Amino acid sequence: MTDLVTGADGLARCPWGASTPDYVTYHDTEWGQPVRTDDALFERLTLEAFQSGLSWITILRKRPAFRTAFDQFEIAKVARYDDGDVARLLADAGIVRNRAKIEAAIANARAAADLPDGLTELLWSFAPPPRPDGRPATGAAVPAVTPESTAMAKALRKAGFRFVGPTTAYALMQATGMVDDHLAGCHVPVGVPSR
């Protein structure tokens, strides 16, 4: 029994990754690929927090506007944002205009800038070893929260991060290649570094 979907191109994909052209591209080229730079991880962390309560496709389609609005997610730049930047972001119809999430993104940039060993070192320290039995066979075998994601969320909150609970932390782990939750038989290879 498998949950894979075969697309018009004949390639087997995780079912969510075949539902829209945007998802096909994201699934095939980015999701689950290792991300190991601080700014790129800050982007993923920020977008996962903005996604809370919304569908990922909404965030994915607004991603170019988010990148522009948040200076390409350069931690050093976002950490210097002030009340004027909050007002600018709240007026930007291209992004999700949620004050709490905007203020959390800025606070998270400041927290990331203060990490002695950087964001990459902190986040990847919670990556579990690969599953001994390989990729999950079905979507039902993919967890929403793990002990590692719970520990990551706790460490992030202790470091001053906001809007990062265990579920958001696990989604980040999936998106950035810390875990491989592509289903068994999915055509996407794992381990190709992202930006």
- 66-75 confidence digits (pLDDT tens): 999 999 999 9
16 as an active site residue: the answer is: no
CATH class of 35-120+141-178: mainly alpha
> What's the mean pLDDT in 57-82?
98
Crossing angle of the two packed helices 83-90 and 99-113, in degrees rounded to 10: 140
What torsion do the CA atoms of 37, 42, 44, 49 make, to the nearest 10 degrees? 160
Q: Residue 2: what pLDDT? A: 67
31 as an active site residue: the answer is: no
Q: Residue 91: what pLDDT? A: 98
Q: What is the DSSP letter of 12?
A: E
Tokens at 22, concatenated: 């945007």
**Angle value at C-alpha 132, between 44 and 177, nearest 5 degrees:** 10
Q: Which of 26, 31, 124, 170 is catalytic?
A: 26
The domain limits of the chain are 35-120+141-178
> What's the mean pLDDT in 116-141?
94
Q: Which of 43, 48, 124, 148 is catalytic?
A: 48
26 as an active site residue: the answer is: yes
